[in-house]
Amino acid sequence: MLFIILCITVVLCIVVFYFKSTKKDYWKKQNVVQISDLMIKFVTGTESMPEIVKKIYEEYDEPYVGMTQGFIPTLMLKRPEDIQAVLAGDFQSFHSRGIIANPNDLLADNLVFISDYQRWKILRQKLSPVFTSAKLKNMCYILNKCSQDFVDFVEGNMDMRQKPFNALYTYTTSTIGAAVFGIDTQTKNTMESPFLEMAWKTLKPSMKQNITILMSNVCPFLYKTLQLKIFGEYEEFFVGAVKKVLANRRQEPAKRHDFIDICMELQKQGMMQDPNTGYELEPTDEILAAQAFFFFIAGIDTSANTMHYTLLELSNNPKILKKLHEEIDKVFEESSEEITYNDIEKLHYMDQVLNEAMRKYPPLGVIQRICSKDTYLPSGLKIVKDNIVLVPVFALHRDKKYFPNPDVFDPERFSPENQSKINNYVYLPFGEGNRICIGNRFARLQVKVGLARLLRRFTLVEQNITPTFEKSPFGLRSPTDTYELKLRDV
């Protein structure tokens, strides 16, 4: 409570000083439309950040809209060519997400939060092989086991069927936990994950979390001075778990094809080095624990929400559900119920359904980048070092200019003949460019395996529901929305 009172006091002081700051006219002086402070809108309002940004996007018929976040000038981009420059073309100028992490926040030293380009680059290079097709094929046995346990778990637990998001969250936590640490042979049910409680606490939006992230954005100096940590309370548990598993695995010769195997390979190779720059980084247990933690924070909530919104829209659209059931049934029957990686790859219509679900409800509704050096957008506007740019993903995905009838759930948008017609850099469920989500192929496989087994066993009762989103700083969440799962006769 003392922490919250302190931070609220600091934020209120920032608000007072903000109105005396010359930044309130920063963008106006560059002939850019400027509105009031974005963070104040979020803190004092009831909507999620993606919803707030979407309303701003729709209100102003301009190529970009200027604002502030505390003392930091912030620009929302609308032109695809400017978005492409930020995410890919001029990546060197926009490599950082602009989320500050204190050096003593061990778990924040991961691919999501790292701002140091050299440090991020070498870890990205070393971890990318985790998600090759060959690695995913080897991991598929883990996802199969988890999905089987998941469906049994849902069938035998009426409470989970009445709170489907909780069931999906249990599945994504368990699959990522198993993919990182392997399947514990002593555990009969993979849904009994020791990481479930931590995941709920870490990823559920809270006042403390929102204020901490707000402080890192609005006033980095105070954030660093106060030595605030985003994930500090989970360090002992998570770093300890990784160290324990690494110590045990060093005594085991057999490979499990999980993330810990990759960690052990990196440590055997010794110092990590960038051949182009000579930059070196030691793969310590703490650094690798932070990368393992990254898979949890980046994948659990986003994948659970993707599954959740897919099922919600399928319950709203019985014809689409019927077509998807037919595809799933065919694959299961041809494989004698024992689906493999190659079988999952045959679920092409499911890919269309998932793509459309992520269009309507993107895993991240807003993407943020901070400018690391003065540069110019393709449209000619100068962006100064330490300015923030926002990519309004949710707004782009619901823009009728790019997606006609955007509120209609239509998987045919992503049919082979239609997908190529979608403009570049207006569909961004996993981001784009050099910092595109490294785990997007794993996430898609995880979601497809889980939904395939669930919809092989269950169908959905028809309904008509529009979700109401929680107040979240980046994502779209509506965990209390429900749909009725009904056992199928197959």
On the question of pLDDT at 218 being above 70, the answer is no
Question: Can you tell me the mean pLDDT for 439-468?
Answer: 94
pLDDT mean over 320-342: 93
Cβ contacts of residue 85 below 8 Å, gap of 6+?
94, 377, 378
Strand, helix or coil at 113? coil
pLDDT per position as a tens digit, 243-275: 888 888 888 777 777 888 888 888 888 898 888
276-280 average pLDDT score: 87
Q: What's the CA gap between 72 and 90, in Å, rounded?
A: 21
Low-confidence winner among 45-54, 109-118, 352-361 (lowest mean pLDDT): 109-118
Say what the pLDDT of residue 1 is: 45
Instruction: Check residue 295 and give its pLDDT.
Output: 82
Q: What are the two backbone dihedrals, phi and then psi, of residue 431, each rounded to the nearest 5 degrees? A: 80, -160
More confident residue, 287 or 305: 305
Q: How confident is the model at residue 482 (pLDDT cuts 50, 70, 90)?
A: very high
Which DSSP string corresponds to 166-229? Answer: HHHHHHHHHHHHHHHH---TT-S-TTS-TTHHHHHHHHS--HHHHHHHHHHHH-HHHHHHTT--
Q: Check pLDDT > 80 for residue 462.
A: yes
Say whether pLDDT at 405 is over 80. yes
Range among 11-20, 38-47, 365-374 with highest mean pLDDT value: 365-374
What does the block give as tokens for 120? Answer: 């991020």
Secondary structure of residue 120 in the 3-state scheme: helix
More confident residue, 336 or 450: 450
Whether the predicted pLDDT of 4 surpasses 90: no
DSSP 8-class letter at 163: S
What local confidence, expressed as pLDDT, does residue 456 receive?
96
Q: Between 145 and 356, where is the model more confident?
A: 356
Distance separating alpha carbons of residues 142 and 445, to the nearest angstrom:
11
Kindly state the average pLDDT of the residues 432-451: 92
pLDDT at residue 23 tops 90: no
Helices (H) and strands (E) in the chain, counts: 20, 10
Helix or strand holding residue 299 (H, E): helix 285-316
Mean pLDDT along residues 62-72: 89
pLDDT in tens, 149-192: 999 999 998 878 888 999 999 999 889 888 887 766 456 688 87
Higher pLDDT pick, 400 / 220? 400
Q: What percent of the chain has a predicted confidence (pLDDT) above 70?
A: 86
pLDDT at 480 over 50: yes
Per the prediction, the chain carries an average pLDDT of 86
* C-beta separation of 351 from 414 below 8 A: yes
pLDDT number for residue 5: 47
pLDDT at 305: 95
Q: Which residue has the higher pLDDT, 259 or 329?
A: 329
Identify each DSSP E strand in 219-362 by its residue range: 272-273, 280-281
pLDDT at residue 143 is higher than 50: yes
Tokens read off for 138: 């080897």
- What is the band of 106 on the pLDDT scale with cuts at 50, 70, 90? confident
Residue 389 predicted with pLDDT over 80: yes
Residue 190 sits at φ, ψ, to 5 deg, of: -70, -15
Domain extent listing, the chain: 2-487
Kind and range of the H or E element at 26? none
CA 113, chain centre distance (Å):
12
C-beta atoms surrounding 419 within 10 Å? 14
* Cβ density class 362-373: b for 16+ within 10 Å, e for less: bbbbbbbbbbbe
- Secondary structure element (H or E) that encloses residue 93, with its range: none
Task: Tell me the pLDDT band of 9, cut-offs 50, 70 and 90.
Answer: low
**Do 326 and 349 meet the contact criterion of CB atoms below 8 Å apart?**
no
- State yes or no: pLDDT of 329 exceeds 90: yes
Give the residue, 6 or 306, on which the prediction is more confident: 306
Give the angle 411-295-96 at the CA atoms, nearest 5°.
90
Note the pLDDT tens digit of each residue in 204-215: 656 666 666 666
Q: Are 38 and 51 in contact (CB under 8 A)?
A: no
As a whole number, mean pLDDT of residues 3-14 equals 56
Could you give the C-alpha distances from 100 to 116, 132, 213, in angstroms and in order?
11, 30, 8
CATH of region 2-487: 1.10.630.10
| Least confident span in 14-18, 105-109, 284-288, 338-342 | 14-18
